[in-house]
Chain A
Amino acid sequence: MFNLAGYGPTILAGTLTTIELSVLTLAVSFLIGLIGASAKLSRSRIAVGVATVYTTIIRGVPDLVLMLLLFYSLQIWLNDLTDALGLDQINLDPFTSGVITLGFIYGAYFTETFRGALMAVPRGQMEAARSFGMRRFYAFRRILFPQMMRYALPGLANNWQVILKATALVSIIGLSDIIKATQDAGKATFRAFFFSVLAAVVYLVLTTATNGILLMLERRYAIGVRKPAL
């Protein structure tokens, strides 16, 4: 029954692609989320407006629609740009556009997570850091960020699970990830059921394992917090 029919290496490579894609997407959307959250909490009206439009539209439109829209449009826009500048055509591979589009989409969800977390940190913390003479960025890195992470982690864990599951969609735009590998194997060996279930098991292992890591992180960031004994 447990016979991979020589597709073991392909499936392993696909699994690694899925993991790489999710981790890179997490990094990109984490950055976009931090920028978006600071824009939303800033005093500039334009920044608040742009960030609000971004999060509202992205979270109101299904990710698959945005993914197809951006995947097909990005290449056309890039071609227009290189034509206008008189450069050679740059081809975007599915992996890069996958990371860009998924990062752009989930950046909106991270913006909301970080906004809530930043607002949960008492205002006095930043004021105290500033009055000590810390520069803005330094104060953010040493004071605001570690405290914010505690509030952000549950939301972040949730977003990570969603990203991991959303990477399944990139096989639709032609990336050879775990889904593509198992589907190909299933078609070639006429055992589509076995190989589809195998893909599901791989995902289940990934989500469960990373959930454990995130629980550990949550404990790490909550180290100075006393829990009331009920």
Chain B
Amino acid sequence: MIDIIHQYWRAFLYTDGYTMTGVAMTLWLLVISCLIGFCLAVPLAIARNARNPFLRGPVWVYVFVFTGTPLYVQLLIIYTGVYSLSIVQHTSFLNAFFRQGIDCTLLAFGLNTGAYTTQIFAGAMRDTAFGEIEAARAIGMSGFTLYRRIIIPSALRRALPMYSNEVILMLHSTTLAFTATVPDILKIANDANSATYEPFWSFGIAAVLYLCISFSLIFMFRRAEQRFLAFLRP
């Protein structure tokens, strides 16, 4: 165990001497995919609640497909599947994008967490108190202002507990990145295991690191909830 820590601590935390690895890589994956997911989810959640079926339908299909299939399959489609198409290989821009494991990983993770986040936000928007919307209409707010000033701020706050769950699950999902050759914590643990044949300690160290990240995320979200959900306290 001491050997593994002595030899791999730097790789586990931030770098293997060439690129960003370990905890730094995992956090980077988490932050970027959650950002992509969030930016997708807010407009899609509005569309999901729209009265127009041509807006609502496609979003429903997107959420259905991405929440109904495993993330690993989505990653495989994007990483090995899309690259095998001849159109992609012969378009230089697409070729450059899909050849990089990290690009494919971020795309798959972003689309996946975007679908789950859309579902969470759409639910929260649907639960907005009827009176709030009525009052906003009564003082003459247009549709856009209504969303910007009333529905979105309130829905995002109320979605916070569910959203924190989704972020923790996303942290757990980032482990799949190592199948696309992205050097996250699990990849380093896997390397340490193949070099030392000590699976318990190699993966155990990774588990402790993930546990620490999980607990810090839970702590941060609890603080955020205290701040943003103060108005809901009994």
Contacts and interface: CB of A to CB of B under 8 A. Distances in A.
Nearest to A192: B84
A197 B77 contact: yes
Interface residues on chain B, size class = 35 or more
29 contacts: A57-B207, A60-B210, A60-B214, A60-B215, A62-B171, A62-B175, A63-B172, A64-B172, A64-B186, A65-B189, A65-B206, A68-B193, A69-B207, A73-B203, A76-B199, A76-B200, A168-B72, A169-B176, A172-B179, A179-B72, A186-B84, A192-B83, A192-B84, A196-B81, A200-B65, A200-B73, A200-B74, A200-B77, A207-B69
Most chain B CB atoms below 10 A, which of A69, A169, A199: A69
A209 B70 CA distance: 15
Contacts of A207: 68-69
Interface string B58-84: 000000110011111110110011111
B204 interface: yes
Contacts of A195: 81
A192 B68 contact: no
A192 to B, nearest CB: 4
Interface of B: 64-65, 68-74, 76-77, 80-85, 171-176, 179, 186, 189-190, 193, 199-200, 203-204, 206-207, 210-211, 214-215
Q: State the main secondary structure of chain B at its contact with A.
A: helix
Interface residues of A, number: 37
B175 A204 contact: no
B207 A186 contact: no
A183 interface: yes
Nearest to A57: B211
A204 B77 CA distance: 14
A25 B173 CA distance: 20
7 smallest A-B Cβ distances: which pairs?
A72-B199, A69-B203, A168-B70, A62-B172, A193-B81, A196-B81, A165-B70
